[in-house]
Amino acid sequence: MSPLRTLAFGALVLPLAAHANDPYSYAQPDEVRVTHLDLKLKIDFPQRQLDGQATLTLDWKDPKANALILDTRDLNIASVESVDTNGKTAPLQYALAARDKQLGSKLTIQTPQHPHEVRVLYTTSPAATGLQWLPPAQTADKKQPFMFSQSESIHARSWVPLQDSPAIRFTYDAQVTAPTDTRVAMSAPNDPKHPLNGDFSFTQTHPIPSYLLAIAAGDLAVKETGPRSAVYAEPSVVGKAAHEFEDTEKMIQTAEKLYGPYRWGRYDILVLPPSFPYGGMENPNMTFATPTVLVGDKSLVSLVAHELAHSWSGNLVTAASWRDIWLNEGVTTYVQGRITEALYGTRQATEEDLLSIQSLQKELPSLPENAQRLAPKPSNIDADDALSDVAYSKGSWFLRTLEQRFGRETFDNYLKSYFNHFAFQSITTEQMLTFMKPNLIDKYPGKMSWGEVQDWIYGTGVPKDAPIPDSPNFATIDKERSAFLAGTLTADKLDAKGWNTQEWMYFLDGLPDAPPLAKMQQIDAAWHLTGTPNAEIGMRWYVHAINAGDKSAWPAAAEHMTRIGRMYLTMPIYAALAKTPDGLAFAEQVYAKAKDGYHPLTQQAVETLFAKAKASKQ
């Protein structure tokens, strides 16, 4: 989103066990491993719960093992039984441990006879951390309720009892019962022509980790965007989404030319209601996406390039622990940039790289040394906190450095061989390095030393010689911003009519944290940023306006915060307001109105922020 172990390297990389027990999972995969999940679910919108039956196929590793241990969180377990190869069932004794705040409750099932399958009947809690239930009023069309999952990092256990670790991969079948006017989608091949008959079946033939298990259900229309892709969204949104994502097939073909065939069959995109807490989630076959990327000019579709890239880095080759998450996100961010460059040009790709670098450079000084490492030492951070600019931006910066040192063609061939070698496996950073040393570093001597590689992976900060790309447009914006702040250029004379989203983001990111109020008022008078429908620009604008003391922007900021549940675009505004007593009181009023429309993860983040703000003022 974390810890395993790191080694002190000399000249040789020694691999760690690929499947050491995950500190964020109770599972004991060295004793028994789930290989397949047969899932039956009934969606109960009035009760905000799933009625579930999970049948787990088991591969027993240790002849002495006498229990199957599963991860759960807030599940009501009705019964547990064994299933033999002939389908005969027998009840099993089990114990559900007390709830741990982070890990949930360990489910220990006594299995001295090593059954072929174990079946668990259960219901989920209305407060399941991995599910959000929206009443009709909180959807775009306001006609039907909506439900969707967010399993990453360790939230799958809140809606299915399983071994909830990225090191453990399984195939799955699912049968889902829903109201007859509801469409269901899952992280498996979806049929865009499936009738709305209340009975949906899914089969995922490729082994996936639990965090990629996903489901959504609601009033969903479908528009195909290519021979193997479609957009799913509420009826009022689907047309706009199909237009924004009409280049999906081109993206797939571009990635295939670089890194080999797309191995998952279909690639569909589900546009969720605004409460979705993230930009996108790379669920196999069905990317879940935020509606905040639908700005009409395709300037934010790199989010789709990112989630598609996960079909190689993350879904095909997966980090074995949350400590190794940069193997998913850093590699994917690099591949995203290559897709963006091929389809939308060097300008946009370079500008996105520079925004990523700028964000990382701003964040690094505030991070503990261990959090600055791509592969950190063991720590006690929450699994959800492993995802940071370090994993994304430092990881991709490392790969861009490798590309520059070894040449694009050589590095492309290496990366393609990496994906092929580890296809459908979960690996550690050390396993990646074991592959890299003979196949890249030693194969092409004199390009990069092993010590430099180690510095990128295990060192703090970013190496001083890390390459930074040039952007003439950004250089011009730097000059105009400086002249504006110095008073030699008025806001209405900024050459901003042709700025794209990335260039506005760069201009605003470069302003002082608390700019002079008069300067902010001049910008708004000239360019009307208050009330902008572009959420990326809006988030940055409102943070600066609040920090400058411009209370006239607060109502529009509140509308933004209420409309959007994506944490990246909402939390900075809450944080800016929480700096002052008046702002904190206003933020609490906004949250009281917006809370019911937020995902549980967003609610937790806001409430934690408020608690810290109040504690700091005591």
- pLDDT tens across 516-574, in order? 999 999 999 999 999 999 999 999 999 999 999 999 999 999 999 999 999 999 999 99
Find the CATH number of the domain harbouring 70.
2.60.40.1730
- pLDDT greater than 90 at residue 18: no
**pLDDT, tens digit, 9 for 90 and up, residues 423-468:** 999 999 999 999 999 999 999 999 999 999 999 999 999 999 999 9
3-state secondary structure of 605: helix
Residue 329 lies in a domain: yes
Q: Provide the pLDDT for residue 529.
A: 98
Beta pairing, strands 425-427 & 317-319? parallel
In the predicted model, what is the mean pLDDT of residues 338-361?
95
Answer yes or no: do 166 and 34 share one domain: yes
Answer yes or no: do 66 and 91 share one domain: yes
Answer yes or no: do 598 and 484 share one domain: yes
Answer yes or no: do 76 and 109 share one domain: yes
Nearest to 339 by CA among 253, 214, 460, 269: 253
Distance between CA atoms of residues 494 and 481, nearest Å: 8
- pLDDT greater than 70 at residue 9: no
Q: Provide the pLDDT for residue 548.
A: 97
pTM: 0.93
Of 259, 392, 418, 574, catalytic:
392
Beta pairing, strands 215-218 & 199-209? unpaired
3-state secondary structure of 612: helix
Residue 192 in contact with residue 222, Cβ under 8 Å? yes
Residue 341 lies in a domain: yes
Clarify whether 307 is annotated catalytic: yes
Answer yes or no: do 454 and 520 share one domain: no
- Pick the last residue of a domain from 428, 458, 488: 458
Total domains in the chain come to: 3
Of 307, 341, 352, 430, catalytic:
307
- Counting residues of the chain whose pLDDT is more than 90, the rounded percentage is 91
- Pull the structure tokens for residue 301: 């579709």
Q: Provide the pLDDT for residue 2.
A: 22
Nearest to 318 by CA among 415, 391, 426: 426
Residue 119 in contact with residue 89, Cβ under 8 Å? yes
Residue 166 lies in a domain: yes
Answer yes or no: do 152 and 71 share one domain: yes
Q: Provide the pLDDT for residue 21.
A: 75
Answer yes or no: do 414 and 518 share one domain: no
Answer yes or no: do 63 and 173 share one domain: yes
Quote the domain boundaries for residue 167. Answer: 20-130+148-181
Find the CATH number of the domain harbouring 452.
1.10.390.10
Residue 408 confidence class, pLDDT cut points 50, 70, 90: very high
**pLDDT, tens digit, 9 for 90 and up, residues 490-526:** 999 999 999 999 999 999 999 999 999 999 999 999 9
- pLDDT greater than 80 at residue 319: yes
- Pick the last residue of a domain from 402, 433, 458: 458
- Pull the structure tokens for residue 190: 């979806």
Residue 578 lies in a domain: yes
Find the CATH number of the domain harbouring 584.
1.25.40.320
- Contacts of residues 573-580 at CB distance under 8 Å and 24 or more positions apart, as own/partner, are 573/539, 573/542, 573/543, 573/546, 574/606, 574/609, 575/543, 575/609, 576/542, 576/543, 576/546, 576/547, 577/546, 578/609, 578/610, 578/613, 579/547, 579/613
Nearest to 79 by CA among 113, 49, 53: 53
Residue 54 lies in a domain: yes
The one-letter code for the residue type at 364 is: L
Residue 325's φ and ψ, nearest 5 degrees, are -65, -20
Distance between CA atoms of residues 303 and 174, nearest Å: 28
In the predicted model, what is the mean pLDDT of residues 404-423?
98
Residue 1 lies in a domain: no
Residue 527's φ and ψ, nearest 5 degrees, are -125, -5
Residue 428 in contact with residue 3, Cβ under 8 Å? no
Residue 441 in contact with residue 432, Cβ under 8 Å? no
**pLDDT, tens digit, 9 for 90 and up, residues 261-293:** 999 999 999 999 988 999 999 999 999 999 999
Pure H helices in 325-464: 326-344, 346-363, 389, 395-406, 408-421, 429-436, 450-458
Pure H helices in 443-534: 450-458, 472-486, 501-509, 517-527
Residue 75 in contact with residue 124, Cβ under 8 Å? yes
In the predicted model, what is the mean pLDDT of residues 332-354?
96
Mean pLDDT of all residues belonging to the chain:
94
Distance between CA atoms of residues 250 and 265, nearest Å: 15
Number of separate helices (H) and strands (E) present in the chain: 18, 21
Distance between CA atoms of residues 214 and 317, nearest Å: 18
Nearest to 213 by CA among 186, 191, 231: 186
In the predicted model, what is the mean pLDDT of residues 148-173?
98
Give me the residue label for tokens 């995802």: 387
- Pick the last residue of a domain from 402, 435, 458: 458
In the predicted model, what is the mean pLDDT of residues 61-79?
98
Residue 19 confidence class, pLDDT cut points 50, 70, 90: very low
- pLDDT greater than 70 at residue 8: no
For 308, residues 6+ apart whose C-beta sits below 8 A from its C-beta are 248, 251, 252, 255, 267, 287, 339
Distance between CA atoms of residues 185 and 476, nearest Å: 46
Residue 298 lies in a domain: no
Residue 43 confidence class, pLDDT cut points 50, 70, 90: very high
Answer yes or no: do 428 and 525 share one domain: no
In the predicted model, what is the mean pLDDT of residues 371-382?
88
Q: Provide the pLDDT for residue 388.
A: 82
Q: What is the CA radius of gyration of the chain?
A: 24
Answer yes or no: do 428 and 566 share one domain: no
- pLDDT greater than 50 at residue 127: yes
For 564, residues 6+ apart whose C-beta sits below 8 A from its C-beta are 274, 292, 535, 570
Total residue length of the chain: 618
Residue 142 lies in a domain: no
Clarify whether 392 is annotated catalytic: yes
Distance between CA atoms of residues 228 and 252, nearest Å: 10
Residue 294 in contact with residue 244, Cβ under 8 Å? yes
Answer yes or no: do 28 and 163 share one domain: yes
Q: How many CB atoms lie within 10 A of CB 66?
A: 11
In the predicted model, what is the mean pLDDT of residues 389-401?
97
Nearest to 41 by CA among 50, 30, 29, 31: 50
Distance between CA atoms of residues 34 and 27, nearest Å: 10
Answer yes or no: do 401 and 528 share one domain: no
